[in-house]
Amino acid sequence: MIKGTTQIRIRYGETDRMNYAYYGNYALYYEVGRAELLRSFGMDYSELEAKGVILPVMNMHIDYFKPAVYDELITITTYVHQLPKASIKFDYEIYNSENILINKGYTTLVFVDKNTKKPMRAPQYFLDLFKDHF
Amino acid sequence: MIKGTTQIRIRYGETDRMNYAYYGNYALYYEVGRAELLRSFGMDYSELEAKGVILPVMNMHIDYFKPAVYDELITITTYVHQLPKASIKFDYEIYNSENILINKGYTTLVFVDKNTKKPMRAPQYFLDLFKDHF
Amino acid sequence: MIKGTTQIRIRYGETDRMNYAYYGNYALYYEVGRAELLRSFGMDYSELEAKGVILPVMNMHIDYFKPAVYDELITITTYVHQLPKASIKFDYEIYNSENILINKGYTTLVFVDKNTKKPMRAPQYFLDLFKDHF
Amino acid sequence: MIKGTTQIRIRYGETDRMNYAYYGNYALYYEVGRAELLRSFGMDYSELEAKGVILPVMNMHIDYFKPAVYDELITITTYVHQLPKASIKFDYEIYNSENILINKGYTTLVFVDKNTKKPMRAPQYFLDLFKDHF
């Protein structure tokens, strides 16, 4: 398993008229969570794309327990529980400023060759980053 | 069962550098799908809020099959299969300009009293709109 | 002068906790305004990019008079007053559902060669679309 | 004059298919710039709203010189050059990761009573925060 934690402050433009962070914006926060997890293992997502691999999202699930409000500092904990093969599943937990779990979810992303647009296996240099953790 | 169909054109600002509509934006498109479904039954969502009911999202799931691209006109078909009680589940299918299913998903929204922020049952005037359809 | 009109309904996710369409979202609405204006003259913006021309924004100005609210149907009127050369200036007026002018602004976009990323003059096939109007 | 600096990393969902941060997203980045400037003087914007003052944007201007790309860490420098009266003008400069100025702009926000929705003068407790700086 690999795990990482990052923080985001809710922007005004990300709230809606209920005064909550709009439910669709968590996809952005999850994106930041997984990008920072990969970065902490030495892999910038942009570097992966530069090497010819894109990672479109195959599925997403979110269970919302509580809202986050404007200017709140939320904490995103991101996990990968299984060594990636043709896809990589990220699990997320978001905690509010009182450290209460406000939502959790997952996204599965597939490895795709940027040029041929065909599915591919996770590149070896990518797997090598995490190999001691699974 | 109730069902409605609406169309959306992908905006430039909704694409990402993969050239696809960003995966998080489908939450916005689903929102439009359910708002237009309710409107077709005579209920504007803003009217519901004016009557003291808010509908925060409890969960969301999306399975992505294919991307949509800039300027593409996509079709959102929205269903409610069960008469709402304390919550209402919307199912969605999105079709691209060639009428191919590009993703499907659902959201469950809970009826909440706007003032007390407590869960409540779906109001009778709301249920009455759909009663002949279930 | 060329002129076009299009309508947009404010999405829930585009509002903020003041209950207004977030001020930054008007850039999206202006984008729709100019894309629909070009389309009405037979030029999809995506076609322009397919032909190797991109149009990054050089400047934007917005004067906000009144807010738009959730679910409101706003009308965007877009103008081009001068035949484009190295750049094209679009002027915008947005009217609310009561036909009151709620904001106006402009954006200037520059013609750039997609491959070399160098500035270029507006292509002749582009100018030909509008030539009888200036 | 007051001045503050903050940094933001461009999210994938904030890019567009040109591979650049979408031009409309700078309104969000400017929002972060001014919120962090106020915070550095001991005033959270949410606190201001809790005290009954909202600050809708009256105008915005942006001159774009260069794009920012995915994952780039940009620096926002925010200035207030004049003591606010009925409105407050923020000037912004955004620098890319190579410390090159990529755009600059301003927004003017008006002080509005949250309940009456009428314009008002900047509250004294707000002015007091900055009084030694003008």
Over residues C58-117, the pLDDT tens digits come to: 999 999 999 999 999 999 999 999 999 999 999 999 999 999 999 999 999 999 999 999
d(CA C31, CA B14): 11
Terminal CA-to-CA distance of chain B, rounded, Å? 5
* pLDDT beyond 90 at D132: no
CB contact under 8 A, D17 and B13: no
Q: Cβ contacts (< 8 Å) between D68 and chain B: which residues?
A: none
List, by residue number, the catalytic residues of C.
Answer: 16
Instruction: Summarize chain D as % helix, strand, coil (round to 5).
Output: 30, 40, 35
Q: How far is C110 from chain A (nearest CA, A)?
A: 27
d(CA C91, CA C62): 10
Q: Cβ contacts (< 8 Å) between D22 and chain C: which residues?
A: 27
Q: In the prediction, which pLDDT does C131 show?
A: 83
By Cβ distance, the residue of A20, A64, A107 closest to B59 is: A64
pLDDT (average), residues C2-30: 97
Q: Cβ contacts (< 8 Å) between A16 and chain B: which residues?
A: none
Residue A97 contacts D where some CB pair is shorter than 8 Å: no
* pLDDT beyond 90 at B15: yes
Confidence of residue B85 (pLDDT cuts 50, 70, 90): very high
pLDDT (average), residues A46-75: 96
CB contact under 8 A, C56 and D25: no
Q: Cβ contacts (< 8 Å) between C11 and chain A: which residues?
A: none
CB contact under 8 A, D61 and C63: no
The amino acid occupying position B48 is: L
Q: Cβ contacts (< 8 Å) between D27 and chain B: which residues?
A: none
Contact in structure between A127 and A48 (CB atoms under 8 Å): no
Which of A53, A57, A87, A113 is the mutation pick for testing B, counting most B CBs within 10 A?
A57
pLDDT (average), residues B39-53: 95
Contact in structure between C130 and C124 (CB atoms under 8 Å): no
Distance of CA D37 to the CA centre of its chain: 8
d(CA D30, CA D26): 6
Pick the residue from chain C with its C-alpha nearest to A12.
C16
Mean pLDDT, all residues of chain C: 96
Mean pLDDT, all residues of chain A: 96
Residue A57 contacts B where some CB pair is shorter than 8 Å: yes
**What DSSP state is assigned to residue C121?**
P
Q: In the prediction, which pLDDT does A10 show?
A: 98
Pick the residue from chain C with its C-alpha nearest to D109.
C64
Q: In the prediction, which pLDDT does B5 show?
A: 98
Contact in structure between B60 and B106 (CB atoms under 8 Å): yes
Over residues A40-57, the pLDDT tens digits come to: 999 999 999 999 999 999
Over residues B61-76, the pLDDT tens digits come to: 999 999 999 999 999 9
Which of D20, D32, D64 is the mutation pick for testing C, counting most C CBs within 10 A?
D64
The amino acid occupying position A58 is: M
CB contact under 8 A, B13 and C35: no
The domain ranges of chain B are 2-133
Rounded to 5 degrees, what are φ and ψ at A38?
Answer: -60, -40
Residue B18 contacts C where some CB pair is shorter than 8 Å: no
List the CATH code of the domain at B2-133: 3.10.129.10
Residue A32 contacts D where some CB pair is shorter than 8 Å: yes
Residue B28 contacts D where some CB pair is shorter than 8 Å: no
* pLDDT beyond 90 at D40: yes
pLDDT (average), residues D3-28: 97
Pick the residue from chain C with its C-alpha nearest to B71.
C46
Q: In the prediction, which pLDDT does A16 show?
A: 96
Q: Cβ contacts (< 8 Å) between D70 and chain A: which residues?
A: 45-46
Q: In the prediction, which pLDDT does A47 show?
A: 94
β-pairing, B57-64 vs A87-95, is: unpaired
B52: left (phi over 0), alpha (psi -120 to 50) or beta: left
Residue C46 contacts B where some CB pair is shorter than 8 Å: yes
By Cβ distance, the residue of B58, B61, B67 closest to A56 is: B67
